[in-house]
Chain A
Amino acid sequence: MEYLSIVFQEVYKILFLLVPVLVSVAMIVWLDRRVWAFVQKRQGPNVVGPFGLLQSLADALKYIFKEIIIPSSSNKVIFILAPIVTMTLALIAWAVIPFSATQVLADINVGILYLFAVSSLGVYGIIMGGWASNSKYPFLGAIRSAAQMVSYEVSIGVIIINVLLCVGSLNLNDIVIAQQNMWFVIPLFPMFVIFFISALAETNRPPFDLPEAEAELVAGYQTEYSGMMYAMFWLGEYANILLMCAMGAILFLGGWLSPIDVYPFTLVPGAIWLILKILLLFILFALVKAIVPRYRYDQLMRLGWKVFLPLSLIWVVLTASYLFYFNLLPVN
């Protein structure tokens, strides 16, 4: 009985985290389209509800009532599993995101490794979907995205090492607290820029949206999907984008810390600061989508392996020698 009550408590906490995340994913789709529209001097979705806020809800209703078509030559089990995998992986990562010193679902020792592992598993949803569709365009999209996500993961990993050198712990709360005096975006600014661009590539956002490049590949790995399964791919993708924004906010922008450590700002709860920082990064993501044209595939690979990887490796050496020389290494 005691065990059951613990389980119920945890389930309640998980629901309290996941429901806001799902609602904010719907909101963020609307925000993305609005920002995109404003850059191009359009209005964007503004009809359903105030400012068009309920547009995503209307879209979701449309997807629910559409028929789910499963191609007869597809591998059915994997075809159905693919959107589920994408969605699940995008949601389980939120377990370790700290919203304040105490508001975190699982305050584990290896939080940043967990985040990195889950984001590197994200590629499976795409590969499974592309392969199981048993069709040319999805398969090409899946192959492209596998290569792309694996290459950009490497530079993200090296950037994380940079931050860890300054913190001395893999716990996400420790990473946030280590930025109390100065956010890491100031000393590690080049790494922040590289992290941001790698995050764009990791989440298949424009200008790196080659897996679903509509001009060449129809819709890439999503070509054969319809109805709610397509919507789940979509939701998973946006939840992943939010997650990368949260990761950027925690690693470089001080997570739940207030920007200035003075009286009226410290009253605002940490969760609100974190959400504001995630929103700031997301608006940058949306602006990039509106402004930058798509990369050519070989240029994308060159950028990942020949520019970002050496740069971030050199920066690791620089950070490590600086910390060592000035005796600033976080030894405990």
Chain B
Amino acid sequence: MADTTIDFIMGKGGVGRSTVSRLLAHHYSTRGESTIIVECNGCADIPAYYNKPSQSYTPTHLAKGIDAISVSPMAAIEDYVVQQLKMRKLYELIFDNRLVKPLIEAAPGLHDAVQLGKIYDLQIGGQWDHIVVDCPATGHGISLISAAKTMMDVSRRGPLYNQSRLVEDVVLEHGRVVMVTLPEELPVRETLQLWRTMRSDFHPKVLGIIINQWQHVSQSLQEVFNNSEVPHLLEEHPEYQTVLNILKEDHENQILWRDWLDTHLGTPENLPLLTYDKWSDGTDLPALDGLEGWL
């Protein structure tokens, strides 16, 4: 069996899962290891960051040691069925007709299961050292990672059950979760909820949490924030005073929510938390110090 690891990047919408997926791939690349980034549900946003056209179901080379693939449920179903039946014509007859297609589209958990199945294929293929899965947003991310288990519950026996079992075994053995969040109340609360769901429902390895879009504040400004006169310092320049207030409040809030998360995680094994500074899109992705500690 291949040693390829599967890193599931999870978090709510807009927290920067794609950014973190790329960060991990870059990190592995500096160690001389190869990565394929898997985008789910037909998303294909990653290649644009490397000025490459959006890829489809075939892996696209993006940079040294970094490839990407976009998996859509229908493409994954086709792939799976053709693989199983060994006959494309039969696939077309059975699945690509207007009678059955809506049924397949509506089948419970099937979308997630076939996408996870594709990740499984990539894993046992062993072509890359790492698979980084840019998961769908929170709830859908959990559906994806637990898809094999769901499928086992639905099918109960037969070939689908057996295959789901194989997938589930690989996910449990090689899967690792990285949670991404923002230093704000709602994303942080949702992260805690996600962590609790994961801990009670299934038990994937969780590497840690990355708090993205951390607003870096200069040392001198931080010192100013400690001054109790802050709300009056720039009184004569009201716009500046307002912005100063916002900066201070944002700064205090992000520390507050980071610490809140840290205390509420309450794990004996001390889940690592890293913060990643805000940066402007269109510039090079800065590396994240501290990643080497957990990957």
On whether the two chains bind one another, the answer is no
